[in-house]
Amino acid sequence: MTDASAPPGATPHHAVIVVGGGQAGLSMSWHLQQRGIDHLVLEKERALHVWETQRWDNFCLVTPNWQCDLPGHPYAGPEPEGFMKKEEILAWLAGFRAKVNPPIREGVEVLKVAPRAEGGYAVATSAGAFTADQVVVCSGGYREPIVPRLAERLPETILQVQSADYRNAGQLPDGAVLVVGSGQSGAQIAEDLHLEGRKVFLAVGHAPRCARFYRGRDVVAWLAEMGYYEMPVERHPLREGVRDNTNHYVTGRDGGRDIDLRRFALEGMELFGALRGFDRGSLVFDTNLGRALDDADGTYNGINAAIDAFIEERGIAAPPPSRYEPVWQPAAERERLDLAEAGIGSIVWCIGFRPDFGWLDVPVFNGAGRPQHRRGVTQQKGVYFLGLPWLNTWGSGRFEAVGRDAGFLAERIAEGLAERLADTGNGVRTTPRGHAA
């Protein structure tokens, strides 16, 4: 599968090694194949597995189907305005994999990537050593679930699961459930449990929210027309800070709707501020619930106001504007909740994920361990990132723009290989579909 002229037993070499076989890795493979560039994708589990192994049963996309635009495989189903459910996503992705037909080794974990003195990279894996001229990191922005250390102090009788491991209400013991975090996963999991009739306590964080539909269209459709999804990180008011933003909560469930935590409160869900600690049998919360709800609604109304301005400026015919008015207010900020008295039997942690680049031994990180790059291109020759949130635009970490980013990187990779060929006068091999010979 590698250089046919290499002596037996030699370390297999590829022009490009792609680490990770999710949608980013496979998009990269598609574009490398278009250019006939030899490469190998290394995936520690199964290609695209996260959509099966790390999503709950009732999961459906938050982004509309028309935004599912993987290279060579745009959504072509009957409901472009709809939101695919888990099984539909898996079927669509299986079609993508079949189309890409990547040169991939599954069940192979990359343990270390380090520069070689003679140029290129040494890639140590669970299946032995490889070398590569260039490496594309597609290992995902949502790898390691974040769980606070206070989790270790909670009673052993409480079942704790992370959002990636949550499947359905039936998996949790009887009794009330505490959901910690109100980002996209937390808000949707709290809703899932609430709809199943479970008593839910929700620790509300600082996530913003947005409307699903406004003035006759999906808010995403308005934002697309307003050019928001074309805006690169350099033009965003927060610049690179936007990469740390929590996603807006809203859902695609049942054809799409808002998630209004205040309405849930009216229906019996108990809302608290952010979880701060655990003390003598009680959970301790920040007294910031009112502020968190107001801020989320402020973002909701702010986005709608921007849509109003756009409609007015363009003279677009649309249903009249409206403003969200709170349907519920917390009577008082509650700081403590006795775990036993509340009957809480389980906790679902939904406070996010962090990437895991511990295996990448190259100088591309800042002091806080974040990769430094421009549109995925690092200052370390031959090392690229793909698939991270806001790598370049809003859609970089989503189905919407990962393909576009992969196309951009494929150009840079081709240039890099040409340079390396000029430097060394050898080494770059391509085959018709880019599969290693």
Ligand X SMILES: Cc1cc2nc3c(=O)[nH]c(=O)nc-3n(C[C@H](O)[C@H](O)[C@H](O)COP(=O)(O)OP(=O)(O)OC[C@H]3O[C@@H](n4cnc5c(N)ncnc54)[C@H](O)[C@@H]3O)c2cc1C
CB of 49: closest distance to ligand X in angstroms? 5
Among 49, 112, 206, 291, binds ligand X (CB under 6 A): 49
How many residues sit in the footprint of ligand X (CB under 6 A)?
Answer: 30
Q: Which residue, 96 or 214, has its beta carbon nearer to ligand X?
A: 96
CB of 45: closest distance to ligand X in angstroms? 4
- Regarding 139 and contact with ligand X (CB under 6 A), the answer is yes
Among 2, 3, 34, 45, binds ligand X (CB under 6 A): 45
- The SS3 assignment for 85 reads strand
Distance CA 59, CA 80 (A): 18
The answer to whether 272 and 285 have CB atoms below 8 angstroms apart is yes
Chain centre distance of CA 422:
38
Beta-bridge mates of residue 203: 180, 272
Residue 335 CB partners (closer than 8 Å, separation 6+) = 284, 285, 287
- Regarding 359 and contact with ligand X (CB under 6 A), the answer is yes
- Regarding 103 and contact with ligand X (CB under 6 A), the answer is no
Give the per-residue SS3 of 329-355: CCCCCCCEEECCCCCEEEEEECCCEEC
Considering Cα of 297, then 302, then 303, then 309, what sign does the dihedral take?
Answer: positive
Site track 163-192 with ligand X (rule: CB under 6 A), x = hit: ----------------------x-------
Considering Cα of 300, then 301, then 302, then 305, what sign does the dihedral take?
Answer: positive
Residue 50 token pair = 């996260």
Neighbours of 15 (CB within 10 A): 25
CB of 327: closest distance to ligand X in angstroms? 26
- Regarding 50 and contact with ligand X (CB under 6 A), the answer is yes
CB of 220: closest distance to ligand X in angstroms? 10
- Regarding 251 and contact with ligand X (CB under 6 A), the answer is no
Q: Which of residues 384-423 bind ligand X (CB under 6 A)?
A: 387, 397-400
Q: Which residue, 186 or 345, has its beta carbon nearer to ligand X?
A: 186
Neighbours of 381 (CB within 10 A): 14
**Options 58-66, 116-124, 322-330, 373-381: segment touching ligand X (CB under 6 A):** 58-66
Q: Which residues bind ligand X (CB under 6 A)?
A: 19-25, 42-45, 49-50, 61-63, 109-110, 138-140, 142-143, 185, 359, 387, 397-400
